[in-house]
Structure formats: C-alpha cells, structure tokens
Amino acid sequence: MAALIHPLERLAAVGTREGEFRQEQLAASVGHGSTLALLGGMRSMVASGCWLRANLAWEKRDAAATAALLDLTVAADERSLYFWLNGARILANDFPEWRMAGPVPSAFRPIANEECAHLALRFLEKALRWHGPDAAIYIEMANIQLRRRNDLNEAARFYRLAAEQPGAPYYAARIHGEMLLALGRPEAALVWLRQILVTLPANDELARRDVVLERIKLLEQEVARGSSPVG
C-alpha cells in the first residue's frame, strides 16, 4: 500500500500554482473512484479505457455518463490533446442536438447551445490549467465562441491567444485579423497584419505570406479612404 500512497503524496505536494492544479486533478480522479489512474505508467492505459467507455455512453446519447467519463479520462491523464479537443467538441456540438431530440420548442435551441458551449469552454479552461497553454486549445475555444455562441469579440481574443503560442499554425493569426475586420476594426486589423508579416517566412507555403501582404495593401487603401474593407 505504501508504494501506492507515496506517488500520490508527491503529486499532491507539488509546489505553488502547479500543486493546486495537481490537487484539483487528484480530487477529480478520487471523486470518480479511480485514484490509481494518476500512477505512473497506468495513466495512459486507464485514460484510454475511460475514453472507450465515454464513447459507449456517447453512442447511447447518455449526456450525464458521457460528461462524467470525459472528466475521468482527462483526470487520469491530462497530457493528450486528443482527449481534450474531442471531448470539448462532444460537449459543444453533440450535447445541444441531444437536448433538441423529441418535442422540444425550437426557441430552446439557443439556450441549449449556450449552456453546452459553456460546458465545453469550462472543460477547455481546465485543459489550460492541467495540460498547459497550447495553440490547439485556444483555437478550439475560439471556434466554440464563433460557431456556437456567435461571439466575435471572444473568438478574436482566443485566436490571438492561439497565434501567440509557440508553434502556432499560421492561420490562427490570419483569422484573428479577419475577426477584427468582421468587428469593424480595419485599422486594428492593419496594425496586426503588419505585425505578423515580418514573422512569416517567404519559403513556407503554409505561411501564406503573399496573401497577408495583399490583404495589407487592400486595407491600406480602404483605411486611407476612410471606409471599411468589403469581403
């Protein structure tokens, strides 16, 4: 038994801020009766097993069981982005459809979308605490804000956070610029695109440096005329 207790003690005793998050993770696992999921090499195996169970619950459209098993999956092993991102997509995209099954007034759809988007965003906030900041997490949060909540301001904010992460895909910065345009802020978009242009390599097609440069030229013309760009 001591061999099992000591790793848990070390996990709970990690210093300062990281220690708080590790204790939160430990509490989540204990709450589901799966403390051993946090022990060394078992973590990945237990998380995979929980994910399979979550998929079985998903097939039955059992929202409560699916959500609980998603939580248990990431409590067992927070390291896999696959679990975080696909779990958030289930919460944000599938849960609202399940709620709308049957004789439900169509006016309830915006409420279901909002509530489930909130669940997914809270799930991804936990990912930021447990897994650590990552461009993919911020992009997923931006997509939820844009597609499920129609909140352009928050979508723009998360795309920028994504673009600022090490190794972020180039498109995150471009989409942030487009979000600024959609918000009616062409001057801010122009400043942003000029800022990122100098970071884009000319020999990488994914950087789309020529596209950004052309967008800058069009924006310069539009801003000079004192009108917002079209399209």
Higher-confidence position of 201 and 23: 201
Higher-confidence position of 32 and 197: 197
Q: What is the mean pLDDT of residues 165-179?
A: 98
Helix boundaries (H) for the chain: 2-12, 16-31, 42-59, 63-76, 81-89, 95-99, 109-130, 135-147, 152-163, 170-182, 186-197, 209-225
Q: What is the mean pLDDT of residues 55-64?
A: 98
pLDDT tens digits along 207-221: 999 999 999 999 999
pLDDT tens digits along 82-133: 999 999 999 999 999 999 988 888 899 999 999 999 999 999 999 999 999 9
Q: Is the pLDDT of residue 60 over 90?
A: yes
The pLDDT-based confidence of 155 (bands split at 50, 70, 90) is very high
What is the per-residue pLDDT for 2? 39
Q: What is the pTM of this model?
A: 0.84
* Cα Rg of the chain, angstroms: 21
The CA distance from 110 to 117, in Å, is 10
